Structure 1
Amino acid sequence: MQAIPDPPSLQQVFQVITDAASQNFVVAQAASTTLDSYKGTPGFYQSVQLVALERNLPLDVRKMAIFQFKNGVPGQWRRGQLYPESIKQNIRARMFGFFDEPDDIIAQTNAIAVAKICRIDYPRYWPDLGTQLLEVITTNSQAVYASADPNPNSCLALRRSLTVLNQVMKELSSGKVPTLTAGFQVLIQQLHEPLLALFNKASEVFANGLTLENLACDDKLNHIRISHLSFKCLVKGVTFLWQRSRVKGFEGSEAVRAFFEVAVDRFFNFSNLRIGLFQQNINPNLINSPTQSHLARHVRTYGKYFRKTQVFSVARFVKLPKCQELVFYYWDKVVQVSNLPTAAIQDSDQVIYPIRFITQALSIFKDSVAQWSPSRQSDDSAILNKGFVEEAVQLIITRLLLLDEEDLEKWSEDPEEWINIEESDSDAWEFGVRPCAERVLMTLSNQYGDYVTPLISSYLGQVVANPATDFPSILRKEALYCAVGRCAHRLRDITGFDGWISQSLTAEALDPNPNYRIVKRRIAWLFGRWFAEGNATDSRAKVYEVLVHLIQTEEGSDAVVRLTAATALKDCVNSVSFDGPTFFPYMPIAVPALLNLLGSAESQDAKKRVLRSLNVIIEAAREQIVPLLGDIINAITVLWQQPDADIPLRAEMMTTVSNLVRSSKEHSAPMSPVAAILIRECFSPGLDVQMDEDAIELWLIVLRNSLRNLNPAVPDLFELLPSAIGLLGSNLDLLGPICQIMESYILLDCPRVLQMQALPLHKAFLEVYQRALLTNIKDMLSVANLMVQLAPSSLWAEAMHTSQFFAKLLASLIEDKSKNDNTLVLVEVINLFARMILQDSAVFVQLVVLSSDVLGKPADYLMNGFLDQWWAKFDNIVDAPRRKLVALATAELLATGNSEIIDRISSSEAFNIWLDVLGELKEAMSQRPGDDEQECVVPPVIIRCEV
């Protein structure tokens, strides 16, 4: 057992931490090495904690010490030799010494360290944690709120203790161990009421008498901080209870409901208070004050709590007290926002309506109205009437879906990045007002279709009848088209899509007006959405024509329009209503346009977007893509050679080449040289780790779609054969697909494979047999079996002997063991030997004789051992075709006239094999349909053995 080194002195610890905080890199690096050597010494982190706690030391040294303590002590805490219980108690007690720490970073880091140790010790080794924290919180809250002249240190200690409690509850709430969750529930019950009282008191003191004049004072800042921290602690406990309130007999449901009601009231108060301050023409200094920023964060935290509660169980959420008031309050703020300029709605706490506040409002409204739909109501009462729904839809379409100045500016500055964000289907929609409003509209359309569908249809009729002439009307048209696309599944039977295309959309898409690029982009997106929803149309040809036109470089277009059209074309081609004969005439224009767009795209994401569209078209076109092979190959070759092409882009290009080969089939010969280059580069250093599977897939597809090359001067994939064999013998991770590649090579031209690489191939077989797993060994033996069938023995026999592969198989069979002592492997070996015997029995016998020199055993011993296993393992062969194969091979062996084989006939083993197989054959023939009344006659077997 390794001896534990002696601990360093406190002075040594102080010096090494001081050096670690040095700005001199050499000194800091040496100190880091020393610190690593100290970590395994008893009580080291106790000394580090003492350094962090010493207020007279430089601040950067103390910060370095608390960082080292927080990062290191949890990993060593369970080591009883280094940290016995007495030292642990001292460390836990000193953690409370940071509760009056003036530096925020040190205090916050200590809070995280407390939480990490609490996760390990609570409740078994630290059962009084809740009592200790409650005592500090109670004592200091009384000093702050019950005293006429509160002590600033008490306020600081109260904030620090709440910070520690917040981190502890955050850590414990994520625990899954039953003991930990039970202890956390006890902690919640112990602290909920005192925290709720503190939260209410701090909230009232902050809100009472708040004016612009006292907004920036320290007292108001401290009170909003205390209110905020206590609320966060309460939320973590209540959320934990809410997630378990569905359990029958759970007693925390009433506490959850009561707190939710209190939170709603406080939210109304704080939100209105903040809005009122902005409406009083607040000056910039107060807007940027810490108090206002904390107030904004506090209001947003309420939204996070409401949203988290809703997401966990939206059906129960809408039944909570005052939930309906909360949802309508949020919607009222959305209505107010719609009438304000863009400057009032920013992703900042320094505006009256931060974007995150509005997105919270829309998200909560969206999921709640779905629960209030008529189909979910048990009676005829309707929470949302027709008038409200229509006003909400009108507000969304005419205000919230409009592109604003910031959108248009980003469109112009970086169109490719804008389109990536705009068409992202991830949960990012919750962070933007317009995407969030789109989801609200979709929900209203789904749940209140009888109200929403006719309204959108009427709006559409008005827009078609009155063409847009100015930029604002173009923006409104774009918003309406967005609404139609989002509700496409509801509008399929009402819109009159074919008439709309002929009357309006085609002309708008071909309009050279630069301002119409906004509508053009939305028209392309609309076509993609319409087809993606499975809506059929008789105007497919016109849709394909418009999209192909928009992909091209035309006047009044830009990268956003072209990329959107490319994606829309992919959606149309990939839809269930795709009509190939209608689309194929447009391919000679569409594919070059996509290749042109691919070459002009700047970002990797834009290029991948175009390639995905091209891949879908190639897959749908099949043989129709053959005339365009050359253009696509050239474009892919140029793109591959670009040094900035990242791994995902290269993987997309591999998919493109794979689809080309798969679609062109026997016409894919021109692809082989390009495929060979790509495959070889995928296995080069730097790419092999991430792209080897892509290369294997392409390799296999090309081989399976290749024809035998009758002209050796023409390059093909056989130049990669040595690489394939090298991978077969060395890469155990990819053995399965590599065996498939070797199988494809053998099926394509087995004699050529053996003429080129017979000996390396058999050496690779030997490596696989000795090192690989059972499944891979069986795959390899299947490949060898196929090789024996498709090539004469003159091409494989010598290599099989020289490589010692045959001798290894023979020895494993005779000794009745394989790498895994698995009979299944030996059955595969017998199957391979049977194929060899049927191919050339004389060569097989010669290989057995030659193996005597390799194995150091007499030839008669090897032959008799082989025959013993040949008979013994026959009953382990369950497949009828393989049993027949062994029976036929047995007859071939007898025909060799070998004396050992002839002598074994008298033991009746061979006859037993034949009789078993003939009996099975007779039974199978008797069970054929129509043969019931016919006598099954098996002809006699005559065996002539010439000696």
Structure 2
Amino acid sequence: MDPNIYALVLDTLNRATSQDTEVLKPAEKKLQEWEIEPGFYSVLLNVLSNHSIDVNVRWLAVMCFKNGVDRYWRRNAPNAIQDEEKQKLRQGLLTTSILSEPIAQIATQEAVLIAKIARFDCPTHWPTLLPDLIGAMKAPQPLMQQRSLLIFHHVVKALASKRLIEDKRTFQELTVSVYSFILNLWHENTELFLRHIQEGAATELITEHLEKALLCLRILRKLTVFGFKKPHESQDAIAFLNVVFDRAKTSLECRKLLKGRGIYPLELCEKFIIHLTKVALGVLFFHPFSYVPLIRPSLEFALYYCFTEQGMSLTYERFTIQCLNIVKGILQCVEYKLPKGSEPVKEPLTLQGHQQKVAVLQPSAVSLVCRQLVARYFPLSADDLALWDAEPESFATDEAGESWKYSLRPCTEAVFMELFHEYRSILAPELVRLLASLQESQVSPDDLPAILKKDAIYNAVGLAAFDLYDDVDFDEWFTKVLSQELKITDNNYRIIRRRVCQLIGQWCGVRASAALRPAMYAALLEPLARAGEDAAVKLAAAEALRSTIDDFNFDVEQFAPFAPHALSALYDLLVTIAYMLPAATTLIPVSKLNFFRRD
């Protein structure tokens, strides 16, 4: 490309940001034609480096540059960028103008751009990248420190994602060379932002150090999880992991102060706390033996902040989910489970991990957690009921996949099931007592709190169905209680009707006699065919009906008398849901509508 083309490219970029399609389209086409021209990306870099150019133009330039790296940076790519131009681009991307980018959004895109190149070229073809960035982090200018940290974060993130053995070895060597420096930088900025919050310093000062501390923490998380074969063999990694929960405790107190003042860094502080828990989860998942010394402090930490009044007063939903995921991860981890029978323990850390877990999860603590989950986390909230009223079809859609990682209700239910499965002998009597307490008095349809409590206990019994096989006589319970509750048509009782339908679906394959099947079909068809019945209840009944049909012991002849009524009711429900879909924000999954699928 001719060196004098700069003005033409700049003009084309200007026109490509126009709102007029007649101006925009030809400009976009011209930029696409230039993607394979030698020197084009050098011109884009010059545009990026000029802070006096319009922000929208520079934004478009960095996006074009990123697209070009994706398509033409590989040596064997068609129309690949020449090595001479690549060398100039690598040098130009670490100039003062790039490292002092004033616009945060453009700075982020530049960091991603550099990381994309680093994934191809670092360290073989770009050995100076990391030393130059570390040098820039030591610069006296706060903005340059922040931008170089931002770039370093994205570079580390890109390099950590490589999975070839040689790439992993290279990343481990990188970790050894930079870990101590980043750890010290994290300590320094964390101390500063915590102290500034406690002293009531200016928002700008708090934000500056909090942003740097958060970037350092993100870098440390990738280095710790992917940069060591065994993190517990590194003194620096141990030093970092040993302060994670202490920093989280202090940060939660500081978050409370920020929340009281209602200032911007609150959101950043919450992200900082969440990333501390992500460090713990990452090490637990990828290096369970390295996590053994953290089992006890992390369980005590999670139980305090999720199940005590003092701790819960400092928390927020995303943090609670992370803590419960740590508990779930420890309970699930096979490395902390003793062999069955008389087999010897081959790995000493397995025995140590089991002992650490048992030391915290004593019977009294396990019972407390179970009661708190059922009493505090399982009842439907005001927001749940509001969603039910506004969009019953969305409310009725089951959470699927890995929603337990991000949503509170699936998370608490997953922890409950994991806890119940491991401590069945302790929790089964506890849950049976809770269930028996409901039979002592009839719940009034006007008593919403009592209905929500009953629904929560029913939910727990449904989740633990397989573990309660010997403790609950479902036939008797269904005949005397559940089938009768389906007949109560008060609006508040829709909560119980929906849950009863779900219970039938959960227990039909666990402990329900063949003789009971016709009564179950009839019970489910009652709300399904009832005029004016709540849509969420009908969907629960339809899902339960599908579960009874998919059951291994399904008898076609038993179901035959109910088939015409079931098909009619399901067709009516399908029409109703189809009519409601245009206003819905969440579509009903195909599995909800495919009632008679037989795998």
Task: Give me the TM-score of the superposition, normalised by structure 2.
Answer: 0.88
**Could you tell me which residue of structure 2 aligns to residue 193 of structure 1?**
180
Post-superposition shift, 1:176?
2.7
- Is 2:218 the counterpart of 1:232? yes
**Could you tell me which residue of structure 2 aligns to residue 631 of structure 1?**
none
CA distance in structure 1 between the partners assigned to 2:572 and 2:323 by the alignment = 43
1:505–1:523 Cα contact (<8 Å) kept: yes
- Is 2:209 the counterpart of 1:223? yes
**Could you tell me which residue of structure 2 aligns to residue 751 of structure 1?**
none
CA distance in structure 2 between the partners assigned to 1:307 and 1:536 by the alignment = 43
**Could you tell me which residue of structure 2 aligns to residue 109 of structure 1?**
109
**Could you tell me which residue of structure 2 aligns to residue 522 of structure 1?**
499
CA distance in structure 1 between the partners assigned to 2:102 and 2:189 by the alignment = 21
**Could you tell me which residue of structure 2 aligns to residue 12 of structure 1?**
8
The Cα offsets for residues 413-456 of structure 1, whole Å up to 9 and x where unpaired, read as: 11111111xx2332113322222111111111110000011111
2:379–2:452 Cα contact (<8 Å) kept: yes
CA distance in structure 1 between the partners assigned to 2:284 and 2:325 by the alignment = 10
**Could you tell me which residue of structure 2 aligns to residue 478 of structure 1?**
455
1:318–1:368 Cα contact (<8 Å) kept: no
Within the candidate set 291, 307, 327, 2:281 is matched to 307
CA distance in structure 1 between the partners assigned to 2:123 and 2:370 by the alignment = 53
Post-superposition shift, 1:391?
1.0
Deviating more after overlay: 256-265 vs 477-486: 256-265
Task: Give me the TM-score of the superposition, normalised by structure 1.
Answer: 0.57
**Could you tell me which residue of structure 2 aligns to residue 405 of structure 1?**
382
Post-superposition shift, 1:114?
0.9
2:360 counterpart SS class: coil
2:470 counterpart SS class: coil
Within the candidate set 510, 517, 520, 2:487 is matched to 510
Post-superposition shift, 1:104?
1.1
Q: CA separation of 1:541/1:73 partners in 2, compared to 1, >3 Å: closer, same or farther?
A: closer
Post-superposition shift, 1:134?
1.5
Aligned counterparts, 1:593-608, within 5 A? 593-602=569-578, 603=580, 605-606=587-588, 608=590
Post-superposition shift, 1:182?
2.9
Post-superposition shift, 1:388?
0.9
Q: CA separation of 1:554/1:511 partners in 2, compared to 1, >3 Å: closer, same or farther?
A: farther
Q: CA separation of 1:33/1:512 partners in 2, compared to 1, >3 Å: closer, same or farther?
A: closer
1:45 counterpart SS class: helix
Aligned counterparts, 1:152-551, within 5 A? 154-211=141-198, 213-214=200-201, 216-242=202-228, 244-245=229-230, 253-278=234-259, 282=260, 286-287=261-262, 289-313=263-287, 315-316=288-289, 318-319=291-292, 321-336=293-308, 353-370=315-332, 382-420=359-397, 423-469=398-444, 470-533=447-510, 536=513, 538-551=515-528
CA distance in structure 1 between the partners assigned to 2:522 and 2:541 by the alignment = 11
Post-superposition shift, 1:259?
2.4
1:96 counterpart SS class: coil
Q: CA separation of 1:442/1:65 partners in 2, compared to 1, >3 Å: closer, same or farther?
A: same
1:541–1:582 Cα contact (<8 Å) kept: yes
CA distance in structure 2 between the partners assigned to 1:24 and 1:424 by the alignment = 43
Aligned counterparts, 1:49-128, within 5 A? 49-78=45-74, 83-97=81-95, 98-128=98-128
**Could you tell me which residue of structure 2 aligns to residue 24 of structure 1?**
20
Post-superposition shift, 1:196?
0.5
Post-superposition shift, 1:591?
2.4
1:355–1:431 Cα contact (<8 Å) kept: no
AA partner of residue 241 (structure 2)? F
Q: CA separation of 1:325/1:607 partners in 2, compared to 1, >3 Å: closer, same or farther?
A: closer
CA distance in structure 2 between the partners assigned to 1:444 and 1:358 by the alignment = 17
Post-superposition shift, 1:192?
0.7
CA distance in structure 1 between the partners assigned to 2:535 and 2:337 by the alignment = 41
1:567–1:613 Cα contact (<8 Å) kept: yes
2:289 counterpart SS class: helix
CA distance in structure 1 between the partners assigned to 2:596 and 2:92 by the alignment = 65
Post-superposition shift, 1:537?
6.0
CA distance in structure 1 between the partners assigned to 2:185 and 2:395 by the alignment = 46
CA distance in structure 1 between the partners assigned to 2:217 and 2:135 by the alignment = 18
Deviating more after overlay: 6-15 vs 101-110: 6-15
- CA RMSD of superposed structures (Å): 2.7
Q: CA separation of 1:448/1:130 partners in 2, compared to 1, >3 Å: closer, same or farther?
A: same
Structure 1: where are the runs of 5+ without partners? 144-153, 345-351, 620-947
**Could you tell me which residue of structure 1 aligns to residue 595 of structure 2?**
613
Q: CA separation of 1:338/1:425 partners in 2, compared to 1, >3 Å: closer, same or farther?
A: farther
2:197–2:258 Cα contact (<8 Å) kept: no
1:42–1:82 Cα contact (<8 Å) kept: no
Q: CA separation of 1:377/1:538 partners in 2, compared to 1, >3 Å: closer, same or farther?
A: farther
Deviating more after overlay: 43-52 vs 476-485: 43-52
CA distance in structure 1 between the partners assigned to 2:212 and 2:540 by the alignment = 50
AA partner of residue 258 (structure 1)? A
Q: CA separation of 1:477/1:538 partners in 2, compared to 1, >3 Å: closer, same or farther?
A: farther
Q: CA separation of 1:96/1:535 partners in 2, compared to 1, >3 Å: closer, same or farther?
A: farther
1:198–1:230 Cα contact (<8 Å) kept: yes
CA distance in structure 1 between the partners assigned to 2:10 and 2:513 by the alignment = 76
Post-superposition shift, 1:339?
9.7
Q: CA separation of 1:209/1:111 partners in 2, compared to 1, >3 Å: closer, same or farther?
A: closer
The Cα offsets for residues 276-299 of structure 1, whole Å up to 9 and x where unpaired, read as: 554xxx1xxx42x33222111111
1:173–1:184 Cα contact (<8 Å) kept: yes
Post-superposition shift, 1:126?
1.0
Deviating more after overlay: 114-123 vs 375-384: 375-384
2:573 counterpart SS class: helix
Q: CA separation of 1:114/1:518 partners in 2, compared to 1, >3 Å: closer, same or farther?
A: same
**Could you tell me which residue of structure 2 aligns to residue 754 of structure 1?**
none
The Cα offsets for residues 656-697 of structure 1, whole Å up to 9 and x where unpaired, read as: xxxxxxxxxxxxxxxxxxxxxxxxxxxxxxxxxxxxxxxxxx
Post-superposition shift, 1:484?
0.5
1:457–1:494 Cα contact (<8 Å) kept: yes
Aligned pair count reads 572
Q: CA separation of 1:382/1:239 partners in 2, compared to 1, >3 Å: closer, same or farther?
A: closer
**Could you tell me which residue of structure 1 aligns to residue 551 of structure 2?**
575
Aligned counterparts, 1:498-897, within 5 A? 498-533=475-510, 536=513, 538-554=515-531, 557-602=533-578, 603=580, 605-606=587-588, 608-609=590-591, 611-616=593-598
Q: CA separation of 1:31/1:337 partners in 2, compared to 1, >3 Å: closer, same or farther?
A: farther
AA partner of residue 318 (structure 2)? R
Higher CA-based Rg: 1
CA distance in structure 2 between the partners assigned to 1:610 and 1:83 by the alignment = 51
CA distance in structure 2 between the partners assigned to 1:457 and 1:251 by the alignment = 43
- Is 2:29 the counterpart of 1:43? no
CA distance in structure 1 between the partners assigned to 2:332 and 2:43 by the alignment = 58
The Cα offsets for residues 151-186 of structure 1, whole Å up to 9 and x where unpaired, read as: xxx110000000000110111111134443333222
Provide the identity percentage: 26
1:403–1:475 Cα contact (<8 Å) kept: yes
The Cα offsets for residues 830-862 of structure 1, whole Å up to 9 and x where unpaired, read as: xxxxxxxxxxxxxxxxxxxxxxxxxxxxxxxxx
